Amino acid sequence: MHILEVQGIQKRFGATEVLSDISFTMERGEALSIIGSSGSGKTTLLRCLNFLETPDAGRILVNGETLFDAADARKKRDREIRKKRLHFGLVFQSFNLFPQYTALENVKLAGQLLARERPDYQNHKSEVLSEIDAKAHALLKEMGLSNREQSYPFQLSGGQCQRVAIARALALEPDILCFDEPTSALDPELTGEVLRVIRELADRNTTMIIVTHEMAFARDVADRVIFMDEGRICEQGDPKEVFEHPREERTKQFLARYRQEA
């Protein structure tokens, strides 16, 4: 069974169609990178997958379960939306950490959100909370931040903030971890630091969607790449294959433009 199945997603803002008939599937353990020029709809697609935007048409299935169907969405108010969002962990370009909380508290908050959805939460609150605590320490350790647990976001570098944001997303135990240009706000050194962490996650078969302008990273780390252009998927496949031998004219143009700039 596919971990993710996206069928015919369409999204308009006013008269402008920003996503047209986007369909793709993902397997468990796969790292998928999404590439495309600015304004091609990458962020909008991630926002649709995270139920932050409502598509005008299409369906989204996770593990075979329909989480979104545009045909139903028009009829009813979705009370389960928070639960559905927990299937996806989202890491933004700008980290979006809570400034009033330490690194550790930011990660623990996510764990608490998840725990509240558990049926045994009220009866086993103290055990669950100590599990969350242990998990938050472990995740920050994994991100190389054990010695910064008590730091506030303003005391951390951009790369460190982004690693806290990744730990927080992982604390939600998402089926699919989504990154939207996780390094575009960072200088080259900090970019390397964050890309290393994402590469390690890929090596451990974390199911991920990575929207990125880091072409070398997409080529070397992702299992599959999707090229988007003007709201459509213009080409997808094995990254090494697509980067070496793009079939579509628009992919060729995009890669040529990128190579010129690099």
Ligand X SMILES: Nc1ncnc2c1ncn2[C@@H]1O[C@H](COP(=O)(O)OP(=O)(O)OP(=O)(O)O)[C@@H](O)[C@H]1O
Residues lying near ligand X in the complex (CB under 6 A) are found at: 13, 18, 36, 38-44
Residue closer to Mg ion by CB (options 145, 186) is 186
> Which residue is listed with tokens 């579509």?
248
CA distance 154 to 68: 37
Q: Which one of Mg ion, ligand X, none is in contact with 36 (Cβ closer than 5 to 8 A by kind)?
A: ligand X
Enumerate the β-bridge partners of residue 17: 12
CA distance 183 to 188: 9
CB of 119 to Mg ion, least distance (A): 37
Residue closer to Mg ion by CB (options 61, 218) is 218
For the chain, the maximum distance between any two Cα atoms, rounded to a whole number of angstroms, is 60
Residue closer to ligand X by CB (options 25, 37) is 37
User: Cα angle at 232 between 68 and 24, to 5 degrees?
Assistant: 50
Residue closer to Mg ion by CB (options 42, 87) is 42
Residue ranges in 25-64 that form contacts with Mg ion under rule CB under 5 A:
42-43
Residue closer to ligand X by CB (options 73, 185) is 185
Cβ(99)–Cβ(152) below 8 Å: yes
Query: Which token pair is 235?
Result: 């080409």
CB of 209 to Mg ion, least distance (A): 13
From residue 126 to residue 155, the character string flagging contacts with Mg ion as x (rule: CB under 5 A) and all else as - is ------------------------------
CB of 17 to Mg ion, least distance (A): 17
CA distance 234 to 226: 8
CB of 3 to Mg ion, least distance (A): 23
CB of 40 to Mg ion, least distance (A): 9
**According to DSSP H, which parts of 69-187 are helical?**
70-73, 81-85, 103-116, 125-142, 158-171
- Backbone dihedral angles phi then psi of residue 144, each to the nearest 5 degrees: 75, 30
Interacting residues with Mg ion (CB under 5 A): 42-43
